[in-house]
Structure 1
Amino acid sequence: MKLIVTGATGFVAQEVIRQSLRNPNIKSIVALARKPVVPPPGADASKLKSIVVKDYDEYTDEVKKEFSGADACIWTVAITPTKSKEIPFDEVKRVCQTSTLVGLSALHEAGLSRPFRFLYMSGIAAERDQSKTPQMMPEYSLMRGETENRVLAFAAEHSAEKFEACVAKPGLITHDAASVARAEELKLKMGLPSVTIEEVSAAMLHQVLHGFQKEPLLNGDLVEIGQQALGADDSKA
């Protein structure tokens, strides 16, 4: 498989890349970011290619050539709910929605393998039903839900070309003792579920490699699939 990972210097994307580099089924990784991607220490970097873009809504012909022949993309580009409070909403929407849709078009134009699987990483609170008013951060939640709808609509429009899409909707993603403690607190207060960074990354990789089991992939799905994938990987060690 040739895999594209966008937002490749980000929190989750770095773990996706780390796991991809040790996965023998992934032969080539295109790591797309606004600065060079450095492989993890000790990793075999021979199958990793770092591609730097000015932004995620601008793709030159040279960049599109790097997409050619790809089998899947895991799209992690976004502004998180917490960070979005400090940024004008127009810019948040540009990064979270406009960039995603421009990226979809750029990928489609690049000459992809078929089937092609596009996995969009969203969040548990994103609301697809635009007639609803979410209690928390309604403008942000509706915008992310609208983006999910538009990603799925794009795939449906190109379904005859075997262009497939799925949305991952994790809760809080934990990575250390502090984030685990925070996740436990939020679960008690708000019922917010969590998933480890290893689990969500393993789950997304499993889905683009083997096919989407369901849509969307909710937090519980990501935990279950991720644990199974990590267990299978451990059994080979």
Structure 2
Amino acid sequence: MKVLIFGATGMVGQGALRECLLDSAVGEVVAIGRSPSGQQHAKLSEIVHADLLDYSAIESELTGFDACFFCLGIASAGMSEADYSRITYEMPVAAAQTLLRLNPGMVFVHTSAAGTDSSEKGRVMWARVKGRTENALLRMPFKGVYIFRPAMIRPMHGIQSRTTLYRVLYKALGPLLAPLEKRFPRYVTSTERIGKAMLKVVRSGAPKHVLECEDINRL
């Protein structure tokens, strides 16, 4: 299996990358982003690409993939809807459109969030924008499209969020997250479980295409 990962420096992306590198069925992993992940592994290669809205210059490097894990995201606090949409909607849609043309048999997995508004009409800006993104991706005729909607995520194996507020929160809640994950699977998952579930949907699909936190844990 050959896997492409967007956002491998983020918390979810780090988890997905770790599980790919550990999985014997994954022969090659390519991480693409505006900065290198800083990791080295025999199975890992990286594409540093500044413009995540235009892939014309690197299309020759984006063929032959079985799966894409799109884990790139940003917190909405302090952002206008236009700026947030550029990262949360335009970037994943641009990547998916290019990859669909080059790899129509690919499985595309997108990381969204619990509470996303599929109607695209709600009052909460981030939820509305994420809903528009999900809907656009689900309409694309890949071999499979799966939307992951985690709630609280327990970082494992030294993985950290790049968002300062989240790092402080996870540090404060650290000892509680593992038991909470076991007791409340509807609300808490982990970077490890997300990564393994992503690989699972590539191999054998899932009962539905929009997977909430509990669905991720079940997989």
1:119 corresponds to which of 109, 125, 130: 109
Please state if 1:208 is matched with 2:194: no
| RMSD of aligned residue pairs (Cα, Å) | 2.4
How many pairs are equivalent?
A: 201
User: Which protein is bigger by CA-based radius of gyration?
Assistant: 1
Aligned to 2:146: 166
TM-superposed CA distance for 1:58, in Å, is 2.1
Q: Quick one: distance in 2 between partners of 1:56 and 1:149?
A: 20
For 2:126, the equivalent position in structure 1 comes to 140
Structure 2 counterpart of 1:126, which letter? T
Q: CA deviation at 1:183?
A: 6.1
TM-score of the superposed pair, with normalisation by structure 1: 0.77
Map of 1:223 onto structure 2: 217
Determine the C-alpha separation between the residues in 2 that align with 1:183 and 1:53: 35
Give matches, 1:11-160, under 5 Å. Answer: 11-39=11-39, 45-61=41-57, 63-80=58-75, 84-110=76-102, 112=103, 114=105, 116-131=106-121, 133=122, 138-154=124-140, 158=141
Aligned counterpart, 1:228: none
Identity of aligned residues (%): 25
- Report the Cα distance in structure 1 between the residues aligned to 2:176 and 2:79, rounded to whole angstroms: 24
| 2:37 aligned partner, one-letter code | V
Cα pair distance change 1:182/1:54, threshold 3 Å:
farther
Larger deviation, residues 99-108 vs 212-221: 212-221
Q: Which runs of 5+ in 1 are unaligned?
A: 226-237
- More helix by percentage: 1
Question: Which amino acid is 1:222 matched to?
Answer: I
User: Counterpart amino acid of 2:24?
Assistant: P
Report the Cα offset of residue 178 of structure 1: 2.9
Structure showing greater relative contact order (alpha-carbon pairs closer than 8 Å, 6 or more residues apart): 2
Contact 2:34–2:49 (Cα < 8 Å) also in 1: yes
Amino acid at match of 1:77: L
Q: CA deviation at 1:224?
A: 1.9
Structure-2 separation of matches of 1:199 and 1:177 = 19
Which of 164, 185, 199 is 2:193 aligned to? 199
SS in 2 for 1:46: coil
Give 5+ residue unaligned stretches, structure 2: 156-169
Mapped to 2, the partners of 1:105 and 1:218 lie a distance apart of: 24
